[in-house]
Amino acid sequence: MQETTYEEHQSNKPLRLRLTQSERLRRHPAPIRKRRDRRRPPNMLRAALSRSASGLRRSPAMAAAAPLSTAAAASWLSNGPASSPPRVRLLIGGEFVESRADEHVDVTNPATQEVVSRIPLTTADEFRAAVDAARTAFPGWRGTPVTTRQRVMFKFQELIRANMDKLAENITTEQGKTLKDAWGDVFRGLEVVEHACGMGTLQMGEYVSNVSNGIDTFSIREPLGVCAGICPFNFPAMIPLWMFPVAVTCGNTFVLKPSEKDPGAAMMLAELAMEAGLPKGVLNIVHGTHDVVNNICDDEDIKAVSFVGSNTAGMHIYSRASASGKRVQCNMGAKNHAIILPDADKDATLNALIAAGFGAAGQRCMALSTAVFVGGSESWEEELVKRASGLVVNSGMVNDADLGPVISREV
C-alpha cells in the first residue's frame, strides 16, 4: 500500500509518493524503537553520563563548548606563598596533583624576565604513577570504539578554537614569540586534531584475496599501549598536538613531557582534552629535564617514544630508547638553505626570506640560515639586509612587533 501527500500544492510539481511505515518494514525489516526508547540517549552516551557521576568528564556530545574559565585555567597551577610564583602541577590519572619534588625550575617571561611559574622535577615515584595510570587506562580505552574516540577529538578541536586567544597569550608570555606567531602555533596543531577526527578511516587495514593458491592476506592496525612524547620549547602547542591526539585516537594512552621552559600551553590543552571527554589516565603529564627523559627511555611499560628537538638530545633519546626495544621517532634540527634565481619575483622573494629566517626569532628547525644568490640576484643582498635591519624587536604582546625575544640567554 502506498500513501500520497501534497507538497507545494499550488505549484505544478508532480505528487511525491511516500512509503507507509508498514511498507518500509516489509522492504527493510529493521526494528523501530519504542517511543520511550527514542527519548533515551544511545548506550555510549548513557554510559558517559553514568560515569560523570563518579567523577569523569561528560561525553563530548553532551558537553557544551565554552571558553576556558579563569577558575578552570587555575586547576593546573597551585598558589604558594604570596611572594612566590604559582607552581605547575602534574597530571596523573585524570587529576592535576601537586608534586612532592624538592627541586623546581623557573618558567620566565623572556620579554620581562618575570618568573611566571615554577615546574617540579618529577620524582621517580610520580613518574611511575603516571605510567601506571596510563597502563591501567589502556585496556578500556583500547576497547572503546574508534568512532567514540573520534568524537572526543571533534569536541577537542571545538574547545581549542574557543580558547585560541588564551592559548596564544600563554605561549607569548612563556615562550616570547609574537601573538600572531603564537596563534599560528596553536592553529598548526589544531590541524592535526582535525586529522585525528578521521581516524576511523586512517585505521582501516588491508585485505588481499588469493595472493597464492588458497591464500588470502589481511592486516590489522592495533594500538601499541603506553606511548610517550618529549617536546621542545619552540612550539609549545603545535608539537604536543602533533603527538597525543593521534596516539590516543588510535587507542593508545600517553605520557607527555612538555618543555620545562614553557609548559603552560600543554597543560591548558590537556585540560581541554579532558573536558572534551578523554577518560582518566589516557593522558598524563610529567615535568623535568634529563632524569625524566631517561626514565621515559628506560621504562618497560612505555612502548613508543616521539621526540622533537635538538640533534644532541635526539641522538641520545633514539639510542637509549631503542636499546630497550621501543619504537622511536626523533625529529631533530636541520640546516636550511634557499637558492635565489634571477627570474624570481624580487619583492615576494625578499619577503619570504625575511619570514623564513626571522619568524619566531629563528627558533625553529625550519628556520632559514643560508641564502645563496646566483645569476645576478646577488644585487638583492643589500635590500635583504635593509629589510632585516628594519624589523621591530619587542615584547610579543606589542602589536607592531615583528619578532619577540629568544626564550633564554642560552638559546
365 is an active site residue: yes
User: What 3 state SS string does the chain have?
Assistant: CEEEECCCCCCCCCCEEEECHHHHHHHCCCCCCCHHHHCCCCHHHHHHHHHHCCCCCCCCCCCCCCCCCHHHHHHHEECCCCCCCCEECEEECCEEECCCCCCEEEEECCCCCCEEEEEECCCHHHHHHHHHHHHHHHHHHHCCCHHHHHHHHHHHHHHHHHCHHHHHHHHHHHHCCCHHHHHHHHHHHHHHHHHHCCHHHHCCCEEEEEEECCEEEEECCCCCCEEEEECCCCCCCHHHHHHHHHHHHCCCEEEEECCCCCCHHHHHHHHHHHHCCCCCCCEEECCCCHHHHHHHHHCCCEEEEEEECCHHHHHHHHHHHHHCCCEEEEECCCCEEEEECCCCCHHHHHHHHHHHHHHHHHCCCCCEEEEEECCCHHHHHHHHHHHHHCCCECCCCCCCCCECCCCCCCC
How many angstroms separate the first and last alpha carbons of the chain?
Answer: 79
Domains, the chain, in order of start with CATH, read 1-57 (no CATH), 63-331 (3.40.605.10), 336-389 (no CATH)
- pTM comes to 0.80
**pLDDT, position 335:** 85
Confidence (pLDDT) at 74: 54
Q: Which candidate, 393, 383, 394, places its Cα nearest to that of 351? A: 383
Point out the residues of the chain with pLDDT beneath 50.
1-73
Residue-wise pLDDT tens digits, 169-214: 999 999 999 999 999 999 999 999 999 999 989 889 899 999 999 9
Given the residues 231, 250, 297, 365, the one annotated as active site: 365
pLDDT at 251: 97
